[in-house]
Chains A and B, each alone.
Chain A
Amino acid sequence: MKLLTHNMLTSHVKGVTKGYPLLIKQATEVKVNEVDFNPQFVTRMIPKLEWSALVHAAEELGQRQDLPDELVPEYENNEEFLKKVHRVLLEVEVIEGCLRCPESGREFPISRGIPNMLLNEDEV
């Protein structure tokens, strides 16, 4: 699971009003891949991100490095910044771990890089 995906994921357990952001726990296997840097792509992704959730997730994985608390103004031309964002969004990958709903505590396992967001019938 890449953090770009994590940034969107929401828990829909019954009765939960704010199932976002999901906490990353027990990340026993985390990879940092080398992914081609595409500044245009990163620039387009940034406005859609929940920035604090991204920073928090990166921190949970110990991969935050020097990612700032707030979005840097005029990031479109700041290649250094874009590269940092690129790294946490696309290069860091949780292979084994789990995601926890912040409200209900329900855990969604991540296995082989793919989070399992299926709920049981009674949770729905």
Chain B
Amino acid sequence: MKTDARSEAPLVRYYCTAGGGMERFLLDEVKVKLAAEDVCQMPGKVLFSSSVGINTVSELRAAERLFLLLKQDLPVQLSANTNPAKAASVLRSRVLGDKTLWTSAVMTWNHLQGELEGRRTSVNPPNPALGVTMKRDEGRIEEQRGEEEEKHNEENKSKRETAQRGETLKGETCGAEAQILEKKRKRDSEGKESNSGKNAKKPRSPEKERKRQYKEDDEEGRRKVMEFNGCGQSGKSAMKPDTDLCSRGSVCLIAEEDHNLKRSGMKMDDMAKDFAVKNVECVETTGGGDKTLLQPSRIKPEPFSPDPVSFRISCKCTGSLSRYFNTQEVSRVIGVGLSKLLGWKIDLKNPQLEVNVNLSDDHCLLGIPLTRLPLAHRSYMKTTGLRSTVAWAMASLAQIQPGFCVVDPMCGVGTILIEAAQEHKASHFLGMDIDDGQLRKANENVEFAVLGNRIHLLKASSMMLPLPSASVDVVVCDLPFGRKFGTKTTTAANLPLILTEMERILCIGGTLVLLLSPQLSCLLKKLLEQKASGPTSNQESKPQTGIRDGPSPSPSRSKQQAFQILQRVKSPPTQKTDPPSVLQHCLPPPLSSLKHQATLRVCLGAIDGLIHKYVKTET
């Protein structure tokens, strides 16, 4: 759904979670891409308002998860020695507040779901996050059902797709299994095929048949391929699919109260309902609403029975408040309070809505997750290596311009190149790796993301790049941290040579962005510190005859160099810089043209990484 002028589009307030060190990238991103207003940052979160459409918001690359803001308030503080009952009452009143806050938030949420849904059913090449996740699921099932597809006309297609989603989920089951499957999906989304494959074997059902199936299993019918995160925090059961189809009806229910109770009564468990059809119902009932979501009614309405919104609380409670309540208690107090206030139903296993509650000494923050999968999960990635958010951050630091040639000399499965190529559509990317397995996966990833026209792969060694000198605009690389990759020698030993090659192929003015472990980061800093000393004193063998794009030094020589470089760090250099005439016949000092721009720390999960940025200057 497009809005023509920003002034017409409503300003929605969101917050996103961000991995450690990613907040600054996210801050920039929301300002640049979403013209965000009232941007503020908390540890691990960025809050902002934007009137840009939700489909664009859900394309944020530096964010982990996206939430609709419900409430951003001063921290809940209890005075000393408050009795438990009073404490609970304060908690309820501070957190729950006014009824209208909730009803209007849920209406906004439903509206946004509708917009996200609208994109999902379109037939496009892979789009980010949730839109495409679903499309991919459907795609896989479609493939398996090849012949059956042809039997049905276009009208039935979307009905079938919604049915498929329900069927897909059946394989995922409830409880912890779903969470495990969810994690597995994040790591390698191929894993899901087996599940969907099983379920896809069910025969195509006409609409009646499908409805029967859903009636058989209430949970099944309610499910949509939407899951929320954060369950672990509250100790509740695993991530569950929700349904936004139903909640739309419920919202009308809540907002219009008695009036709706009679009319809207949509069957909550009827997955076959097109979302927009429900919207039509709402619109008719309430006499208003967004008509642009109306779609041709392909599905016959059914007799309805009203159901309240079902929800679950996902809570994180830290600071002084946690002396009074543990997380589960807070969840319970708020959950019960909310259900009394709004008539909503608590459903721990399969709620329509999840309410995210963050209570600390600094703030009280409530929100509703907007997408099932985190934004950090990319629908266009088949096999991830490095975290997509960090990969994107590295690419954004490199300041890639249209027409640039970007090289990753140790590309692995191609994560950084793919993130960069998605962002910069007029540049071309070259990935190298020495490992066949990695290249194969990189190839799959590139094909999966439909980027084969701009990302090309080579089997090559980072210590001997088959490229002319000064031919590349950007070099990005996640240097292997030493333990994961089965190379004979460690990255540390080869670092000088690797860096020399990277420097060589860069144009003057070109950018180098590296991700290093803390140890490699230290080593690199030392390597570059000693650049100020003369070059020839470094080399034991005769200087080469100054052909810049001649063969690079052999690996054994690089070890000598590395050793010498490290030694020199310990004892101050005694030699003066050689006179220019001698220099002309020698290779310029290794790495001397790399000017350091920034070092940034990012969280990579179990460990931290350091991103280094350099620009190549005149030597």
A interface residues, Cβ below 8 angstroms from B? 1-2, 4-5, 8-17, 20, 33, 35-36, 38, 40-41, 44-45, 47-48, 90, 112-119, 121, 124
Contacts and interface: CB of A to CB of B under 8 A. Distances in A.
A44 B458 contact: no
B468 A8 contact: yes
A114 B426 contact: no
A118 B468 contact: no
Specify the main secondary structure of chain B where it touches its partner.
loop
Interface stretch (B137-145, B147-155, B549-557): B549-557
Which of B547, B550, B555 counts the most chain A CB atoms within 10 A? B550
B456 A48 contact: no
B43 interface: no
Nearest to A124: B554
B398 to A, nearest CB: 17
A121 B557 CA distance: 12
Interface of B: 402-403, 405, 425-428, 430, 432, 434, 439, 443, 452-454, 456-461, 464-468, 471, 547, 549-552, 554-555
Which of B402, B458, B461, B555 counts the most chain A CB atoms within 10 A? B458
A40 to B, nearest CB: 5
A13 B403 contact: no
Contact of B456 (A1, A15, A124): A1
Which of B402, B443, B453, B465 counts the most chain A CB atoms within 10 A? B453
Contact of B458 (A38, A47, A117): A117
B428 A9 contact: no
Nearest to B432: A117
A12 B462 CA distance: 13
Contact of B402 (A20, A40, A121, A124): A40
22 contacts: A1-B456, A5-B458, A8-B405, A8-B467, A10-B468, A11-B466, A12-B466, A12-B551, A35-B452, A35-B453, A36-B453, A40-B426, A41-B402, A41-B425, A114-B443, A114-B458, A115-B458, A116-B459, A117-B458, A117-B459, A117-B461, A124-B554
A112 B439 CA distance: 11
Contacts of B466: 9-12, 117
Contact of B468 (A20, A36, A47, A121): A20
A17 B550 contact: yes
A122 B432 CA distance: 21
Given A4-B428, A10-B549, A118 B434 contact: yes
A124 B552 contact: yes
A121 B430 CA distance: 24
A38 B454 CA distance: 11
A12 B554 CA distance: 12
Contacts of B458: 5, 9, 114-117
A21 to B, nearest CB: 10
A114 to B, nearest CB: 5
Which of B428, B434, B549 counts the most chain A CB atoms within 10 A? B428
Contacts of A119: 461, 464
Which of A10, A38, A47 counts the most chain B CB atoms within 10 A? A10
Contacts of A36: 453
A119 B555 CA distance: 12
Which of B460, B465, B467 counts the most chain A CB atoms within 10 A? B460
Given A13-B551, A90-B453, 8 more contacts: A4-B428, A20-B468, A35-B452, A38-B426, A44-B427, A47-B403, A114-B439, A114-B458
Contacts of B443: 112-114
Contacts of A45: 403, 428
B584 to A, nearest CB: 18
B473 to A, nearest CB: 9
Contacts of B467: 8-10
A111 B134 CA distance: 34
Nearest to B466: A117
A15 B428 CA distance: 30
Contacts of A12: 464-466, 549-552
Given A15-B551, A90-B453, A118 B460 contact: yes
B213 to A, nearest CB: 40
Which of A2, A33, A35, A114 counts the most chain B CB atoms within 10 A? A114
Nearest to B433: A114
A41 B454 contact: yes
Contacts of A5: 430, 456, 458
A41 B426 contact: yes
Nearest to B471: A8
Contacts of A4: 428, 456
3 tightest A-B CB contacts, nearest first: A44-B403, A117-B466, A117-B460
Contacts of B552: 12, 124
A12 B463 CA distance: 11
Contact of B555 (A9, A115, A124): A124
A86 to B, nearest CB: 9
A92 to B, nearest CB: 12
B61 to A, nearest CB: 21
